[in-house]
Amino acid sequence: MKHLLKIITFGTVLSTSLLASAAMAATNPLSDACKNAPNSSICQQAGGITPDSVNPVGHTLNVAADIIALVAAIAAIIIIIIAGFSLITSNGNAEATTTARNRIIYAVVGLIIVAMAWSIVTLLVDRLIK
């Protein structure tokens, strides 16, 4: 149980740090300022950042990554709920308890992998495709 707690804690910290870095990379401080004054000298030097200057390929990849991550997160949550119900109703059966516990572990690990993959895709798209 302690080993599982360490894995979940490590995965949570890692995915949180990756999500935070991806969110910081996706935020452009000039985009809000340039909405109000797109012809200012700072906005012109920054390459004319406007809401219309979004690359459609990057936007499509970000939306696809968001949809895939959302579907995977919903599936993982459903699996965790079903496995939790199986764990509760196992009535002390060692085999059923082990199966349910493994399903929960695999769903959490899968959720962490999806979160990290989403972070990497978002970071790469925002940095490489402008």
Is 11 part of any domain?
A: no
Q: Which residue has the higher pLDDT, 128 or 3?
A: 128
83-123, pLDDT tens digit by residue?
A: 999 999 988 899 999 999 999 999 999 999 999 999 999 88
Report yes or no on 4 lying in a domain. Answer: no
Q: Tell me, what's the pLDDT at 36?
A: 65
Arithmetic mean of pLDDT, 20-46: 59
Does 93 map to a domain?
Answer: yes
Q: Do 41 and 57 contact (CB within 8 A), yes or no?
A: no
Number of domains in the chain: 1
Torsion angle defined by CA atoms of residues 109, 90, 70 and 25, in that order, rounded to the nearest 10 degrees: -30
Give pLDDT, residue 27.
Answer: 53
Nearest alpha-carbon partner for 111 in 11, 19, 4: 11
Q: What is the domain extent for residue 90? A: 54-128
> What is the end-to-end Cα distance of the chain in Å, rounded?
45
Give the pair of three-digit tokens for residue 100: 């349910």
Residue 112 lies in a domain: yes
User: What pLDDT shows up at residue 112?
Assistant: 93
Query: CB neighbours (10 Å) of residue 107?
Result: 20
- The number of beta carbons lying within 10 Å of the beta carbon of residue 43 is 19
Residue 82 in domain: yes
Question: What's the pLDDT score for residue 92?
Answer: 84
Question: Do the beta carbons of residue 107 and residue 80 sit within 8 Å?
Answer: yes
Integer Cα distance of 22 and 119 in angstroms: 6
What are residue 49's phi and psi, to 5 degrees? Answer: -70, 115
Confidence at 21, pLDDT banded by 50, 70, 90: low
4: pLDDT strictly greater than 70: no
Q: Is residue 108 part of a domain?
A: yes
